[in-house]
Amino acid sequence: MTRFFLPPDALGGNFAVLTGENASHAKVLRLKTGDRVILCDGASTDCTGVISDVSPGQLGVVIEKRIVSPAEPVLSCTVYMAYAKQDKFEHVVQKATELGAMELVAFPSARCVSRPDEKSIAKKLERWQKIAASAAEQSGRGRIPSVTTAQSYAAALARAAQADFPLFFYENEQTRTLHDALGAAVRGTVSLMTGPEGGFEPSEADAALAAGMAVCSLGPRILRCETAPLCALTAVMYAGGQL
């Protein structure tokens, strides 16, 4: 069934209306009276319903049942990725949403080539959030991950370190791998912090260790900056029993 996200207050009763982009999407899909759909409040509640009427610019849906979304993972994973060139972060937003990330945060670091200004960040955030919404609908998520930015490396690090399971990936780490770091039971909130094309500076890795992050590698191969967060997220979801 096709999935649509609506504000929670639009799903309070037994009848809902699809308008705007949702109505346009339904028109493209040629949905008609009698077709079944899933309406989601973005807070892990799925409402199954039947289209009762179709008119220009809107569709009415009779809600039949509410359930807790079965697609939302128990782990709450936030992906922190340093700014990257071109559309690499867009790719990560899409795929991390499919894999079950709860939030994505872009941040500046010492070796970032891409350093968007305030005006371009606002445009990027709007686009990134739309990509997350589309990926959430496609993959059957019960939530749309939040996509945001941190003003500095220090701000991103301080926030990431507050997670129950904070992981920092550094290609020059020689003693601890992700496999080692996942030896303990993965639980609660998880933060995954990865660097830009040139990786992290040694001083940034030292700061992460001092902040309480578990500094580890993703193995002997050097991964691209858009590969590393998805590799880490997949491994953590698997270790946490979510795959």
Taking only the tens place, the pLDDT of each residue in 223-235 is 999 999 999 999 9
Looking at 27, 52, 68, the residue that finishes a domain is 68
Q: How many domains does the chain have?
A: 2
Q: What is the pTM of this model?
A: 0.89
The answer to whether 218 and 53 have CB atoms below 8 angstroms apart is no
The answer to whether 147 and 123 have CB atoms below 8 angstroms apart is no
For residue 184, what pLDDT band results from cuts at 50, 70 and 90? Answer: low
Q: Do residues 9 and 54 share a domain? A: yes
Q: Do residues 132 and 211 share a domain? A: yes
The answer to whether 225 and 112 have CB atoms below 8 angstroms apart is no
The answer to whether 214 and 173 have CB atoms below 8 angstroms apart is no
Residues 129-173 pLDDT 10s: 999 999 999 999 999 999 999 999 999 999 999 999 999 999 999
Q: Do residues 54 and 89 share a domain? A: no
Q: Do residues 58 and 142 share a domain? A: no
